[in-house]
A and B are shown apart, each in its own frame.
Chain A
Amino acid sequence: MAERKPIKGITKDRTEKLIQETLAEMPAKAQKKRAPHLGANEPSASPCAVKSNKKVVPGVMSQRGCAYAGAKGVVWGPIRDMVHVSHGPIGCGVYSWGTRRNLMQGIPGVTSFPMDFTSDFQERDIVYGGDKKLEKLLNEANELFPLAKGFSVLSECPVGLIGDDINAVTKRMEGELDKLVVPCNCEGFRGVSQSLGHHISNDSIRDHIIGRFEFPDAPGPYDVALIGDYNIGGDVWAAKPILEEIGLNVKSVWTGDGEVEKIGATHNVKLNLIHCYRSMNYMCKVMEEKWNIPWLEYNFFGPSKIEESLRNIAERFDDTIKANVEKVIAKYKPVMQAVIDEYKPRLDGKTAMLFVGGLRPRHTVGAYEDLGIQITGSGYEFAHQDDYDRTAPEMAKGTLIYDDVSEFELEKFVEEFKPDLVGSGIKEKYVFQKSGIPFRQMHSWDYSGPYHGYEGFKIFARDIDMAINSPTWKLVKSPF
């Protein structure tokens, strides 16, 4: 991949100076801890110089969540035909109920369960333990929701601290109910971020789900699975049709709008296509080792990356698929060009800074660039080294890379780089909007979407244009 052209005004010196000035305002210990997480991009450097996946520095206002958030909100919650039990006190389940936009088909309460199920721990459950309550509630849930294909039990902080054994309960209940009952020891205090929750959930899928089912029809040469697409704002529904149009057979989706039995039969596919590498690479590697299923990362944000990804996918298949891919690319080229022609004139030369979760800090860069927007800074809440290694080549030299950036740091960076747009999360949104800086939530697509695939790019382009060029920003400064 050709290295990106430098961005006007963005140099390694300027970026490093900015980092030093920002760090200088912190106490010595915090400076020392934070310094390795901030850097100026070196596109060809491997490994990327920025450190990651370390503990949050106490007191700095990190944007990170916890293992439970990574397990319930990210991996399990989107599986539509299971009842997901937030096991512990009331809060975690309430806050994560319907707040991630992992849309799903089905009839709520009948065939899909976009609801909050909790054991609502009280003081007595802390004192006497919650295992009996768990057993009882699983029976109740099974009676009330007979079409649920299974249950996941997601531990909140107290469960691991009081010594409950959810694994024993779920094992027993699985026998009793003759349905999947999967334990997930994802207490929020475990690990340093959401990331461990993803990993623990992947392990639960490995230990309790994968390999236990098979598809009714015989395996075919074009069978694939979509891994790590959570259907935020309907992304799966924009991505899957493209794969079907090129002739592939999408057998299961992990886990957006997902069905648990199909997830459990994924070991029968020919290729795993992985979207969010961070949260699901573990299972791809397990399936590769155990069932020899290769995996391939793909990125369907913006026409350039869609084309690149489709051609990479085609390489794994025969001439039929290769020909289909070229046909599909040709079919959508004018459609995408029309989108670019409409929006690029208003966006060309603008800059944006990103701070998001698992894959978007790098995956969406191409979509912005398709619209003429350059990314001057990017970073992740909970990434690891391999994510940053994949990010460096996607960013121009000297741009800012920040890991687990605190509100304090991001404010300073934005103040200096003055981007035309910040793309980040709900906690950051209004901080920047108060400053008069256009903003789009890049976790939730700001209640819009899909942004993925050809259909998604139309919406993405419209939304980014709307954010940057809304006449409301002109009203921010009072004339008096």
Chain B
Amino acid sequence: MSAETSVKTVTEHSPEEIERVKEWINTEEYKEINFAREALVINPAHACQPLGAQMVATAFEGSLPFVHGSQGCASYFRSTFSRHFREPSAATCDAMTEDGAVFGGQANLFEGLENAYSLYKPKMIPVYTTCMPEVIGDDLTAFIKNAKQKGHVPEDLPIPYANTPSFNGTHIHGYDSMLRSILTYLTEGQKIEGKCTGKLNLIPGFDGSTGNIREYKRILDLMEIPYTVLADTSDVFDSPCDGHYKLYPGGTKIEDAAESINGKVTMAMQKYSTVNTMKFIEETYSGEKVVMPMPFGIQKTDEFLMKLSELFGKPIPEQLKAERGRAVDAMTDAHQYLHGKKFAVAGDPDYLLGIVSFLLEMGAIPYHILCSRTTKKFEKEMKALLETSPFGAQGKIYINKDLWHMRSLLVTDPVDGIIGDTHAKWAARDAKIPLFRIGFPIIDRVNMHRTPVIGYGGAVSILSMIANKFLDIKDETCENQWFEMMR
């Protein structure tokens, strides 16, 4: 405080002034100022790279995620996963502090790896970085090599690493980098010309739904296609409560990941979160390589099953055909509750494409489509998707806009429903529009991650969630004379 600063009296805003601003922030004028923002981001719908890296790092059997950098970051990632999945989320870090900023983080990494290895006996320690070592330029290739040479960890312990600076990309890019790094590490020297495991390598991408992963596996089992999920979060983030805590409750077997290079087919179920991984796989893996859209709704699920059938020469079993029929039955039965309804959708690129595709199938209108950090390429792909249906004609795409922008959209040009993660609840409340929670993270409702939103079953779940909520609202808000038994 400078000496010349005068002392001011504590003031209160007048009720009129508060009322004026309260109304003003819902106006077109405010929306314009809001959209003119260039520097300030308010309520983003994305997180940082190392979070995504941790999702991959935790999804291999016996794998201990290891954060190279500040300890607070590690705690934030662990808390985020534990809040979303309501599950343990083990990860350790080398707790770099000021001296690390000056001397680099090698000493921390040595000690951290040594302690993590002897305390937690992991089969693999994937390392990923926070901002700090990225800014000071730590050389992880050298550090990890040195750690092994100096005997802090055994030479043969897999320690893949990924550079995951938070000032670049989002959590989906960290997912991509870490997966690429782990696969590069584990498959090195494993390729055998002419050998084929006959298996499908299925890459789910950054997916906060363990239900989705289980659904992929159920479908593959039904089709009798052998598979390796790269990487399988389902048993890690959806483990049984049986009286025994397991630090490593499951995940993709390291041998299976190593063998994946000799697979028959590698299929990515998300495009934007697997770009670099698929580039690596294109260059090195045997077999076919396919990138599929997430199987939201009927047609994308059809595409998925037909592709599997085509690639593996297996028929689509009657059971799945019946499931399709039941899902279509549910959709035709309930189409009237969604037809023509407008939606705002926010989330990660691959999820957005899937959700919009489903809405178009229902005759619903994807109206405000928002991704808070992505590329022109995504915008183009979304535009093309909207153009496939008359119901897409009103859809407007907002890239690199945040949930405060979305609030302005919702209050000036309202919709019937919002689809997004928990963070969208503030805008939803202000606009008095119901929020349907699909995405990551969901930290204010239980068990959402356990129910698949992909596949035929997923379509029924989403449809039921939305239609029944609309009917609840009608029952709760209609005047007496319009309240009736049937809906």
Contact = CB atoms under 8 A, between A and B. Distances in A.
A146 B30 CA distance: 12
A57 B110 CA distance: 11
Interface in A90-115: 90-97, 99, 107-111, 114-115
A131 B417 CA distance: 39
B228 interface: no
A385 interface: no
Interface in B8-41: 8-11, 13, 17-18, 21-22, 25, 30, 33-34, 37-41
A203 to B, nearest CB: 12
B82 interface: yes
A211 interface: yes
A296 interface: no
B120 A61 contact: yes
B343 to A, nearest CB: 23
B89 A427 contact: yes
A420 to B, nearest CB: 15
A116 interface: yes
A210 to B, nearest CB: 8
Q: Please indicate which of the listed interface residues B97, B168, B246 has the most CB atoms of chain A within 10 Å of its own CB.
A: B97
Interface string A121-156: 111011000000110110011011011000000001
B115 A27 contact: yes
A459 interface: no
Contact of A111 (B13, B73, B83): B13
A117 B78 contact: no
A13 to B, nearest CB: 25
Interface string A296-339: 00000000000000000000000000000000000000000000
Given A116-B41, A214-B9, 16 more contacts: A59-B115, A59-B119, A65-B71, A88-B131, A97-B43, A110-B25, A136-B39, A147-B18, A161-B131, A189-B70, A212-B8, A215-B9, A431-B245, A434-B245, A435-B245, A436-B241
Contacts of A121: 166-167
Contact of A94 (B17, B48, B167): B48
A59 B135 contact: no
B391 interface: no
Contact of A59 (B8, B9, B42, B111): B111
B92 A59 contact: yes
Contacts of B34: 144
B135 A117 contact: no
B98 interface: yes
**Interface size for chain B: under 10, 10 to 19, 20 to 34, or 35 or more residues?**
35 or more
A4 to B, nearest CB: 30
A470 interface: no
Contacts of B37: 140, 144
Contacts of B75: 63-66, 69, 427
A59 B116 contact: yes
B7 A212 contact: yes
Contact of B83 (A114, A156, A426): A426
Contacts of A246: none
A56 B7 contact: no
A116 B46 CA distance: 12
A162 interface: yes
Given A94-B48, A157-B135, A188-B73, A60 B115 contact: yes
B80 interface: yes
A65 B71 CA distance: 6
B87 interface: yes
B243 interface: yes
Given A89-B48, A261-B11, A110 B18 contact: yes
A68 interface: yes
Q: Please indicate which of the listed interface residues A110, A189, A264 has the most CB atoms of chain B within 10 Å of its own CB.
A: A189
A158 interface: yes
Interface string B98-114: 10110000001101111
Interface of B: 1, 5, 7-11, 13, 17-18, 21-22, 25, 30, 33-34, 37-44, 46-48, 50-51, 66, 69-73, 75-80, 82-83, 86-98, 100-101, 108-109, 111-120, 130-132, 135-136, 165-168, 170, 239, 241-246, 373, 404, 407, 423, 426, 430, 443
Contact of A427 (B78, B86, B373): B78
B135 A162 contact: yes
Given A59-B112, A140-B38, A434 B5 contact: no
Interface in A147-182: 147, 156-158, 160-162
Contact of B115 (A58, A143, A211, A426): A58
Contacts of A291: none
Contact of B39 (A88, A90, A97, A140): A140
Interface in A22-72: 25-27, 29-30, 55-69
A60 B166 CA distance: 24
Nearest to A194: B72
A350 interface: no
A208 interface: yes
Contacts of A343: none
Contact of B47 (A64, A69, A90, A407): A90
A189 B80 CA distance: 20
A190 interface: yes
Contacts of A466: none
A108 B430 contact: yes
A27 B112 CA distance: 11
A407 B43 CA distance: 32
Contacts of B33: 143-144
Interface in A402-427: 406-408, 411, 425-427
Contacts of A60: 92, 115-116, 119
Nearest to A136: B39
A115 B404 contact: yes
Contact of A91 (B38, B50, B87, B119): B50
Contact of B131 (A29, A89, A434): A89
B389 to A, nearest CB: 33
Contact of B426 (A66, A115, A411, A425): A115
A448 interface: no
Contact of A55 (B9, B92, B95, B443): B95
Nearest to B166: A89
B63 to A, nearest CB: 14
Given A110-B25, A265-B10, A426-B79, A91 B1 contact: no
A62 B91 CA distance: 9
A110 B21 contact: yes
A111 B25 CA distance: 12
Closest 10 CB pairs of A and B: A66-B72, A91-B48, A59-B115, A58-B112, A59-B112, A89-B166, A95-B76, A137-B40, A137-B39, A59-B116
A407 B64 CA distance: 13
B48 to A, nearest CB: 3
Nearest to A477: B243
B5 to A, nearest CB: 6
Contact of B430 (A26, A109, A190, A406): A109
Contacts of A157: 69-70, 130-132, 135
A247 interface: no
B39 A119 contact: yes
A136 B100 CA distance: 32
A216 interface: yes
Contacts of A123: 165, 167-168
A60 B113 CA distance: 9
Contacts of A14: none
Nearest to B87: A430
Contacts of B115: 26-27, 30, 57-60
B226 to A, nearest CB: 30
Contact of A191 (B66, B97, B112, B404): B97
Contacts of A259: 10
Contacts of B42: 115-118, 144
5 contacts: A59-B114, A64-B72, A95-B79, A119-B41, A212-B7
A212 B70 contact: no
A194 B37 CA distance: 32
Contacts of A432: 245
